[in-house]
Each structure stands twice: as C-alpha cells, then as structure tokens.
Amino acid sequence: MPEENVLEKARKDKAEGKSASTQAGEFVREEMHHIREGKHGATSPQQAIAIGLSRTRSRATSGALKRQGRSAASRSNLSRHARSVARRRGSRSRHQSARKAAHTRKAEGRTTRRGSK
C-alpha cells in the first residue's frame, strides 16, 4: 500500500488538473526510493517503473525482488532510460510536451491561467 503522503501528492496533482502520468509519477518516485533504501531490488529501470505503477504483489514476487540488484534505480540508469525513451518519440511530440509543461508549471508568486496559485 502506498504511503499516505504519496497518495496526498497524487490527489493534489489531480486537483490541479495535471496529467494521469504526472499523478502516477508520485508512485514511481516512491518505488525508486524503496529500491534505493534497500527495501527490494529490480532488474531494470523499466521493471522499477512497472512496479511503481502496479502496486499489488504476491509474496513470491516480493521474495524474488529482494534478491534483485539495487542499481536499476540509480541516477545513471534512470537517466539512460529517459534518454532512450525520449529518442523513440518524434520531435513534434517532444515539443508539445515541453509546451504543456511550460504552460502548466507553477510560477512562484504568480497565479496560473486558471486563477489558482
């Protein structure tokens, strides 16, 4: 079960109208933290992300994950994964994502277009 603060952050993202992938990112972030602190491991960054998105696990799967390495959640491996995924997307798709991110980014001390801080 996800920690309460993670659920709260996801709820806040939803209330702010952020995308589903942004909301789910909170759970993935929590999973990366669990791997880094040694709670369990993962074979690859892709598996670590999938674990963060799925949440439910059998006892056998939990046992198997404890025997996996911890390097899947390292900064270098996650960075390599992000770059390879970005390369698969077209330039127009990346451009649209960047525009949306800039539009929905919180501005310090200013209100957004929707009128909330």
Q: What is the pLDDT of residues 5-32, one digit of tens each?
A: 999 999 999 999 988 988 999 999 999 9
Residue 23 belongs to a domain? yes
- What pLDDT band is residue 109 in, cutting at 50, 70 and 90? low
Instruction: Round to whole Å and give the CA distance between 99 and 32.
Output: 27
Say if 108 falls within a structural domain. Answer: no
Mean of per-residue pLDDT scores for the chain: 88
Distance CA 44, CA 65 (A): 11
Q: What's the number of domains the chain is made of?
A: 1
Residue 106 lies in a domain: no
Reported pTM: 0.71
User: CA-to-CA distance for 48 and 51, rounded, in angstroms?
Assistant: 5
User: CA distances (Å), 36 to each of 75, 83, 98, in order?
Assistant: 10, 21, 29
Residue ranges making up the domain that contains 11? 4-100
Cα–Cα separations (whole angstroms), residue 28 to 52, 97, 104: 4, 19, 21
How many Å apart are CA 54 and CA 35, to the nearest integer?
15
Residue 109 lies in a domain: no
What pLDDT was estimated at residue 112? 53
